[in-house]
Structure 1
Amino acid sequence: MADVTMEPMFEVLKSVQARLAQVDGKIDELTQATQALRTSQIGIRQEITSVFQEISGVHATLVRHEGRLDRIEKRLELSEVPHT
């Protein structure tokens, strides 16, 4: 019987190892891209929160000014009486 060698099997295994190394590299790239997206998303959330806080501050100022104007109108008797 002819001698059976492991050379073909080793060649296949080398090929599989090379492909696995490529897959590992792609997974690493995807992991880095995912992390970059998460970091970007966190930044966007912080910006949105900042905008909401700023709008809230503007709203509070408007409410305060509205109250002051109402008091001024009452003091000066400028408030309009609804017509019936």
Structure 2
Amino acid sequence: MAEVTNELLHELMKQFHQRFDKLDFRVSEIKSELHSMRGTMVGTQGTMASVQNDLLNIYGILDRYDARLDRIERRRELRELAEPSTPFDPHP
């Protein structure tokens, strides 16, 4: 049996955290879709509300993508800072 170390537990906790984040986003998307479907059943006013809800859903998804890109860029910057810098040599 593999030895349980703090590093292993830390990695597992990070994976759980990422999965719960994704699950939370999916649940909010499902809620939004249900609200949109409920709006289409009401009539003309419901249709307009449904369109608004769809737009809000799209904006929410775009915001999440923007946040994910920000996190990726921060990780990349941190990694670049951690790596030893070498001057650029165009002619090696």
Give the structure-1-normalised TM-score: 0.49
**Which gives a bigger RCO, structure 1 or 2 (Cα 8 Å, sep 6+)?**
2
Which of 1 and 2 has greater Rg? 1
